[in-house]
C-alpha cells in the first residue's frame, strides 16, 4: 500500500482505525519527497525531525489529525522560514502563525514543509522564484503553473496529502488545472488573510490544493471562518461543506459565458471542457447561456489594481525591520539599494507599473478607472447569477507550457490568467478540477467552476458530482 497516494478522507479512516500511525504516514511522505523532489523541486524547505515530532504529538480524533500538509512559502508558520521565494526575505524566520495555519494546527495537521512559488506570488509559472524552477509532474520540461506551483506539484506528485496556496488572480486554480489536482479559491472574506504576506490585499485569498473535491471541502471547513485579526474577514457562520456534497446536480443551472469560449483557447482544452459540460447535463444539470460582457477588460483591470496594491504592500520590504539590507550613503539610498538588490525582475516590473498607475496625474486615468470597470465586472457576475447557480469555463486557455516559453513576454504570461482573474475582481469563489488530458503529450486539463459569493456548498456539490462520474482524478503522473 502506498500511503502517499491516498486522500485525506481515506487516510483519516486508516489513522482512526489504527491501521497506520501518524508517524508512519509522515515518514511515507518524507520518503516520497526523498525519491521524487530532486526531479520536481516542489519544496523549498523541509525539517523531517520537526515533522515527525508533530506527528507524534497529534490527536487523531481531530478533523485533520495526522494529515501531512505542504504550505506555500507565503504563509507564516512559527519557527519556519518564510521567504516568499524572494532574496529580500532570505533567512527570515516567522515569529507567528497565520490564522489559517493556527487552524490547521488546531485540527491536528502536520505542517510538512514550505513549497516553491513565483516571487511574492507574482507569476503564472513558478519561474519567477529566486530559488529555482519547479517542474510539472506530468512533464518535467514544463512549468507546473503558478504562482502556487510548488503546492500544486507537491500534491500532484504525491509529496503531500494536501497543500495550501494563495490565489490573487488564479494562483491556486491555474496550477491545479495544469497538474491535475483540485484547487479552490474561496470567496473573498471567507478565509482570514492574517499571516499571509500581502500581494494585492483586495484580491488575495488562501485556499486548498487536494486530490479530491471531498478533501477540498474538508480542508476549507477547517481554514474558513471569521477572524478579528483580518478586517476583511466576514463575520458569518461556516457551513458544513460535506453536508450537501453528495446532493447531485439535478435541477441546478450551469451557466456558460459566451465570452469564455473564444479563439485562442487550445482545441483539446475546449473539447474537454465541452465534454465536461455535456457530462454535467447528463447528470441532470440544465445548461444556460449567459454573458459576462466586460470579460475583455478583466486582465487590464487586474494588472492595474493588483500592481497598485502590490506597490504599496511591498513598500514594507525596505531593509529596516527584516530581510536583507544593502547599506547606502543615507536612508533613501539604503531603501533603494536594498530593494534593487532584493527583488527579482517580475516584482520590480509590477512595482514600477503599480507606482506609475498611482502617481500624480495618472491616478484617475488608470487606478480609479480600473476600480470603476471592476464594479462593472462585479455587476456582470451578479446579473449572470440570476440566471444560473454555477458558471463553467476552462481554467486556463492552454495546458502547461514549456519552461522558458513565455518567460520573456510578460503580457503573454499575464494573458494566461484570462479565465481566472475576473473571479478575484468580483470576489466570488472558484474551483478547478481535472476534466481530461491532451493526447500528445499527455497533459492535464482543468475545468473551472465559479460560484456565487459564499456559495461554496453549491460549488463543491457540482464539482463532486462531476468528479465522481469521471475517473480523471484517479490518473497519476509517471514519475
Smallest distance, another protein to C-beta of residue 246, A: 30
Ordered alpha helix ranges (H), 62-164: 99-106, 149-156
Can you read off the three cell numbers belonging to residue 91?
533567512
Q: Indicate if 72 belongs to the active site.
A: yes
Of 140 and 376, which CB lies nearer to another protein in the complex structure?
376
Q: What DSSP string runs through 216-251?
A: HHHHHHHHBS--TT-TTS---PPP-TTTTTTS--TT
Can you read off the three cell numbers belonging to residue 365?
486615468
By the rule CB under 8 A, 419 interacts with another protein: no
Strand partners, 237: none
Q: Indicate if 396 belongs to the active site.
A: no
Q: Which of 225, 257, 319, 446 binds another protein (CB under 8 A)?
A: 319
Q: Indicate if 171 belongs to the active site.
A: yes
Instruction: Map residue 180 onto helix, strand or coil.
Output: coil
| Contact between 446 and 178 (Cβ < 8 Å) | yes
What φ, ψ does residue 188 adopt, rounded to 5°?
-60, 130
By the rule CB under 8 A, 80 interacts with another protein: no
Over the window 334 to 373, marking each residue x when it contacts another protein by CB under 8 A and - when it does not, the resulting string is: xxxx-xxx-x-x--xx-xxx-xx--x-xx--xx-xxxxxx
Smallest distance, another protein to C-beta of residue 196, A: 15
Q: Which of 2, 18, 38, 231 binds another protein (CB under 8 A)?
A: 231
Of 367 and 472, which CB lies nearer to another protein in the complex structure?
367
| Contact between 100 and 143 (Cβ < 8 Å) | no
Name the helix (H) or strand (E) containing 53: helix 48-57
In this structure, the number of other CB atoms found within 10 A of the CB of residue 61 comes to 10
Q: Which of 240, 243, 315, 404 binds another protein (CB under 8 A)?
A: 315
By the rule CB under 8 A, 236 interacts with another protein: no
Name residues contacting another protein, limited to 19-78 (CB under 8 A).
none
Q: Please tell me which residue in 72, 185, 406, 452 is annotated as part of the active site.
A: 72
Of 151 and 187, which CB lies nearer to another protein in the complex structure?
187
By the rule CB under 8 A, 291 interacts with another protein: no
Q: Which of 16, 34, 61, 228 binds another protein (CB under 8 A)?
A: 228
Q: Is 221 exposed, middle or buried (0-12, 13-18, 19+ CB in 10 A)?
A: buried
**Size of residue set near another protein by CB under 8 A:** 74
Over the window 429 to 458, marking each residue x when it contacts another protein by CB under 8 A and - when it does not, the resulting string is: ------------------------x-----
Q: Please tell me which residue in 86, 148, 151, 171 is annotated as part of the active site.
A: 171
User: Which of the stretches 87-95, 148-156, 169-177, 273-281 binds another protein when contact is defined by CB under 8 A?
Assistant: 87-95
Can you read off the three cell numbers belonging to residue 357?
498607475
Q: Please tell me which residue in 124, 147, 148, 166 is annotated as part of the active site.
A: 147
What is the DSSP code (8-state) at residue 186? P
Smallest distance, another protein to C-beta of residue 330, A: 6
Smallest distance, another protein to C-beta of residue 378, A: 6
Q: How far is Cα 25 from Cα 2, in angstroms, rounded to an integer? A: 10
Please state, in angstroms and as integers, the Cα–Cα distance from residue 469 to each residue in 215, 282, 462, following that order: 17, 10, 11
Which is nearest to 106 in space by CA: 212, 221, 272? 221
Q: How far is Cα 234 from Cα 425, in angstroms, rounded to an integer? A: 17
Smallest distance, another protein to C-beta of residue 342, A: 10
By the rule CB under 8 A, 209 interacts with another protein: no
Q: Which of 61, 243, 320, 402 binds another protein (CB under 8 A)?
A: 320
Q: How far is Cα 346 from Cα 338, in angstroms, rounded to an integer? A: 16
By the rule CB under 8 A, 238 interacts with another protein: no
Q: How far is Cα 322 from Cα 90, in angstroms, rounded to an integer? A: 10
Smallest distance, another protein to C-beta of residue 163, A: 25
By the rule CB under 8 A, 410 interacts with another protein: yes
Q: How far is Cα 401 from Cα 174, in angstroms, rounded to an integer? A: 12
Of 297 and 437, which CB lies nearer to another protein in the complex structure?
297
Q: Which of 43, 188, 419, 472 binds another protein (CB under 8 A)?
A: 188
By the rule CB under 8 A, 284 interacts with another protein: no
Smallest distance, another protein to C-beta of residue 24, A: 33
Which is nearest to 233 in space by CA: 208, 205, 198? 205
Of 138 and 366, which CB lies nearer to another protein in the complex structure?
366
Q: Which of 14, 253, 325, 476 binds another protein (CB under 8 A)?
A: 325
Q: How far is Cα 399 from Cα 112, in angstroms, rounded to an integer? A: 29
Quickly tell me which residue has 492552454 as its cell.
398
Residues forming the active site: 72, 147, 171
Amino acid at each position: 500500500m502506498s500511503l502517499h497516494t491516498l486522500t485525506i478522507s481515506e487516510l483519516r479512516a486508516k489513522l482512526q482505525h489504527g491501521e497506520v500511525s501518524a508517524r508512519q504516514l509522515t515518514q511515507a511522505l518524507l520518503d516520497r519527497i526523498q525519491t521524487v523532489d530532486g526531479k520536481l523541486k516542489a519544496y523549498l524547505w523541509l525539517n523531517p525531525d520537526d515533522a515527525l515530532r508533530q506527528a507524534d504529538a497529534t490527536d487523531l480524533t481531530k478533523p485533520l489529525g495526522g494529515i501531512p500538509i505542504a504550505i506555500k512559502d507565503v504563509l507564516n508558520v512559527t519557527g519556519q522560514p518564510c521567504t516568499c521565494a524572494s532574496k529580500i526575505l532570505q533567512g527570515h524566520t516567522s515569529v507567528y502563525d497565520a490564522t489559517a495555519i493556527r487552524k490547521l494546527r488546531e485540527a491536528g495537521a502536520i505542517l510538512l514543509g514550505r513549497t516553491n512559488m513565483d516571487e511574492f506570488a507574482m507569476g503564472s509559472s513558478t519561474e519567477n522564484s529566486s530559488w529555482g524552477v519547479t517542474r510539472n509532474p506530468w512533464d518535467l520540461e514544463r512549468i507546473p503553473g503558478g504562482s502556487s506551483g510548488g503546492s500544486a506539484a507537491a500534491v500532484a506528485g504525491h509529496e503531500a496529502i494536501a497543500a495550501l496556496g494563495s490565489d490573487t488572480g488564479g494562483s491556486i486554480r491555474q496550477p491545479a488545472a495544469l497538474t491535475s489536482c483540485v484547487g479552490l479559491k474561496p470567496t473573498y472574506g471567507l478565509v482570514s488573510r492574517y499571516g499571509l504576506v500581502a500581494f494585492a490585499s483586495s484580491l488575495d485569498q488562501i485556499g486548498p490544493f487536494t486530490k479530491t473535491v471531498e478533501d477540498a471541502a474538508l480542508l476549507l471547513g477547517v481554514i474558513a471562518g471569521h477572524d478579528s485579526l483580518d478586517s476583511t474577514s466576514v463575520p458569518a457562520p461556516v457551513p458544513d461543506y460535506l453536508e450537501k456534497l453528495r446532493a447531485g446536480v439535478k435541477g441546478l443551472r450551469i451557466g456558460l459565458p459566451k465570452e469564455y469560449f473564444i479563439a485562442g483557447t487550445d482545441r483539446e482544452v475546449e473539447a474537454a471542457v465541452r465534454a465536461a459540460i455535456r457530462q454535467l447535463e447528463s447528470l441532470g444539470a440544465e445548461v444556460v447561456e449567459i454573458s459576462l460582457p466586460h470579460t475583455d477588460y478583466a486582465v487590464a483591470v487586474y494588472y492595474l489594481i493588483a500592481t497598485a496594491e502590490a506597490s504599496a504592500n511591498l513598500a514594507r520590504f525596505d531593509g529596516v525591520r527584516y530581510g536583507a539590507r544593502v547599506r547606502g550613503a543615507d536612508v533613501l539610498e539604503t531603501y533603494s539599494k536594498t530593494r534593487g538588490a532584493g527583488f527579482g525582475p517580475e516584482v520590480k516590473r509590477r512595482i514600477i507599473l503599480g507606482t506609475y498607475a498611482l502617481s500624480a496625474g495618472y491616478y484617475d486615468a488608470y487606478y480609479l478607472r480600473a476600480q470603476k470597470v471592476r464594479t462593472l465586472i462585479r455587476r456582470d457576475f451578479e446579473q449572470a447569477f440570476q440566471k444560473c447557480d454555477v458558471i463553467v469555463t476552462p481554467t486556463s486557455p492552454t495546458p502547461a507550457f514549456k519552461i522558458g516559453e513565455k518567460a520573456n513576454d510578460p503580457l503573454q504570461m499575464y494573458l494566461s490568467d484570462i479565465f481566472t482573474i475576473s473571479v478575484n475582481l468580483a470576489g466570488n469563489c472558484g474551483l478547478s478540477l481535472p476534466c481530461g488530458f491532451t493526447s500528445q503529450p499527455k497533459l492535464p486539463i482543468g475545468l473551472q467552476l465559479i460560484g456565487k459569493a459564499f456559495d461554496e456548498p453549491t460549488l463543491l456539490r457540482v464539482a463532486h458530482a462531476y468528479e465522481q462520474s469521471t475517473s480523471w482524478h484517479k490518473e497519476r503522473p509517471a514519475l
